[in-house]
Structure 1
């Protein structure tokens, strides 16, 4: 959100997140599934029936459709449709796509984990803020909120360590006041806010660079002067020839 109060959603970014276990070690993305998983019915179609072998799948968005032919074919698409509507997804286990994908079980499996967030983000050069918070974000009544219902928890541990956070192009001598900052939450709830002022300074030009620029300017002036002088000289010469012929 910038200083004008405008919230910028779905901005382009290059930010990634790694899952970490309780010891801070990276969890491999591959996961071995159980061989005793219960057999699920065929996917539920938008029209209410189950998917047949000769049909194209079009899952329901459960009331969050924006168009008549809007389909939500997985749990994430249903959650995104709800987010755009400003609705909270209170019970994902009642959503066919989320139930089939084991969404709640994945949430339980991730209990006690942490994450490592890294990357870059482009932002306007105006005052504003950005934040990290659990849960899917959405807009409701002009407010930016996060849906935490799916987690089914009353408390969240937001202890963290900032390895590095910088703005703009790196250069020698730059000071990033939040680097290596660490905070440990000791209560059931917590929120940490940091206020920083970003000031970009111009690098002073070296004497050699200054001298090079001066020489370039002087050389340019001489070149232009030579062109003008040649133009005037040849112009006068042509005029004299014509005057001589006329007399």
Structure 2
């Protein structure tokens, strides 16, 4: 497992060294993010730590060798490493995540509004797919594929996509994203679990269903497992 883990990280690092990041290019060597503006000297994506106070730990994260807790209704867990968890990623245009799946677990339809995602399956198998944006006089097209250990799949920036474990065993995947903070919009959560709620009149007309269906969906707890 240790050797496979290192190979995974190496592959993801290589992939993203060959593509352009979607975030703006940095104008300095680094800009370690800091949460308190009163201590900041520079601004580039986030407030930056004084370079004279930066140390190696600002570029370090540990724990991706540990599985996430998939004991939830979706049967999946995402362990993110973006600028929130790793301050040294600020302005560098990349981030990383580990995704664990219980048997038949699902990472539900969602989008990353600020980043393209490349997914590598480390163990197990996944059914994955994404849907194109609206095309004049056409239906939204679905691209789907079954992936096995060692397979890679790309989800273009901003498009709705999903991953589902189709095996009776656990599955592990790693994702690299072309943003320090790609963001996540989980479709069901955003539509039926927003605060305050979207007007049932809007959703009734949008989905062409009876109001009691919308009321039921809005009354449910929508699990958020995403980064």
TM-score, normalised on structure 2?
0.22
Which structure exhibits the higher relative contact order, with contacts defined as CA atoms closer than 8 Å and separated by 6 or more residues? 2
**Relative to total residues, which structure has the larger strand share, 1 or 2?**
2
TM-score, normalised on structure 1?
0.21
